[in-house]
Amino acid sequence: MENENNKTEPQLVSALKPITGKSCLLILSILVTAYVWLFSGAFTISRDVVKGPDLRVQETTDGCYLEDKLQAPHLPDLHSVFADRISGQVVFVGLKLLRQTWHRVLFRCEFPSGDISVVHAVDDRRSFGHLPQYVVVLTCPIPNEYRLRSSFNITLRRLPGTDAYRNIKACATSNEKHFLAMCTMVKSVDAFIPQWLDYHRYLGVQHVYIYDNDKPAQSTLQTSLQNYIKAGFVTLIPWAHSTSVNKTYLEVQIAHENDCIWRHKHDVDWMIKIDVDEYIQPMDARRPRIPEYLNDSLYDSVAAVRIQNWFFGHPPRIAPRGDSVIERNRWRAEKHTLQNTGHDKNILRPINVHYYKIHSVKLGGDVISADPYTEMRLVHYRTDNQRARHFDLPKFKERDESMVRIRQALVNHRLQGRSSKNNKRRISKKVRKPKISKETIRI
């Protein structure tokens, strides 16, 4: 037996010798090629792809929006997909929990033409609060033949494997440019919105993007804001997305914020991000409009101007009077709230922001603070808002009529505008065009 084993061992070694030479390099080359094919789309495993629960979209003047988020096992939850013509990218925006490491996963964007690209998400680890949630943004270059299209379909596939959101409709964003716009999400607060819009339009806001968190069958914003929509001042966006298991209501809010920022990175210079019970007040009489604080070239590289919160209301012993939130709340707290305590808001420079969450820039450029005494402050009328409040309001001891004066200037401005229109109508009625006779025409 011993001799037989000794005879067979050299035969085995002899059989392995051809593999250890040039053939080894050939096998390695074949394996690498197969790996590249797998990731590039030249070769895929035959398996059904995973579709999102509802790929329906709703179209607006600003593009199209998913009716609900895309959600499937082994894929990130995605709240929006759109095509940015200026940057030449398809953008996917979603949210994740800390344990979900989508930044370590490769994804492949597939176009109907056969064009593909492999991408990954930038890691987001900065968050706070109960059950913190983190942003996921994926961007894919748009092939040249799709750059000018108003919409097209795209498939997002996880690698390796074939788990995918297939044939998602991506619409191009609007090309209308604004220096200063405003973005917010609302639900059943119609009464607050018109006066909030009028105030900020008077102070220099050019356009407002309102994300409607009400179900379409329950929302009344299309009716209550129809004049603003027809005038081209407001874009109403359906955003009644559901909340995922193990995530809070903030998922939908954070998703809309990052959708707004990424969707308008290249057509809005500055984006105000506040709620409808918050008003930005310029504090320098020489600069009565908000854009006058943002024109400085020193701000070109910053991600945001932080606006400090100052609560306004009225003492319990005084009954509020007036037809506006400004007139009913003429008192303020003695001091503004401290920075980074959950009440600051921002005027964002979208081009310099990558991730954002409610009160702060999570990933992007530097943030500077406006002086609440000499530059701008955030006037917060929280007492009139019936939304659940998880903090105590301060005592309102200081009488402050500064916001009332701005509102009165706004009212006077509107009255002058109406008077000017009426005068033009009277003049046009008096001036009649001369009748041209047939004989004159012959001559």
What's the pLDDT tens digit per position in 93-115? Answer: 999 888 888 999 999 999 999 99
Judge whether residue 378 has pLDDT over 60.
yes
In the structure, what pLDDT confidence band is assigned to residue 231 with cuts at 50, 70 and 90?
very high
Name which residue leads in pLDDT, 262 or 248: 262
Judge whether residue 388 has pLDDT over 80.
no
Classify the C-alpha dihedral 248-384-394-367 as positive or negative.
positive
State pLDDT tens for residues 328-374.
999 999 999 998 888 899 999 999 999 998 888 988 999 999 999 99
Under a CB-based contact definition with an 8 Å cutoff, are residues 183 and 259 in contact?
Answer: no
In the structure, what pLDDT confidence band is assigned to residue 195 with cuts at 50, 70 and 90?
very high
In the structure, what pLDDT confidence band is assigned to residue 19 with cuts at 50, 70 and 90?
very low
Most confident of 31-35, 308-312, 383-387, 432-436: 308-312
Most confident of 16-20, 141-145, 422-426: 141-145
pLDDT of residue 80: 95
Residue 170 neighbours by CB distance under 10 Å: 25
Whole-number percent of the chain with pLDDT over 90: 61
Judge whether residue 442 has pLDDT over 90.
no
pTM of the model: 0.82
pLDDT of residue 97: 85
Q: Give ∠ CA 247-259-171 in degrees, rounded to 5.
A: 125
Give CA–CA dist 435/417, Å, rounded: 32
Domains 57-172 and 178-412 fall in the same CATH topology = no
Give CA–CA dist 162/181, Å, rounded: 40
Under a CB-based contact definition with an 8 Å cutoff, are residues 277 and 270 in contact?
Answer: no
Fold (topology level) of 57-172: Immunoglobulin-like (2.60.40)
The domain ranges of the chain are 57-172, 178-412
CATH annotation of 178-412: 3.90.550
Of 188, 128, 167, nearest to 342 (Cα)?
Answer: 128
Judge whether residue 18 has pLDDT over 70.
no
State pLDDT tens for residues 29-70.
545 444 433 444 333 333 334 444 445 677 666 678 999 999
Residue 349 sits at φ, ψ, to 5 deg, of -105, 95
Of 72, 65, 117, nearest to 93 (Cα)?
Answer: 65
Judge whether residue 8 has pLDDT over 70.
no
In the structure, what pLDDT confidence band is assigned to residue 134 with cuts at 50, 70 and 90?
confident
Of 375, 364, 409, nearest to 262 (Cα)?
Answer: 364
**Mean pLDDT rounded to a whole number for the chain:** 83
Range with the poorest average pLDDT among 94-103, 150-159, 300-309, 404-413: 94-103
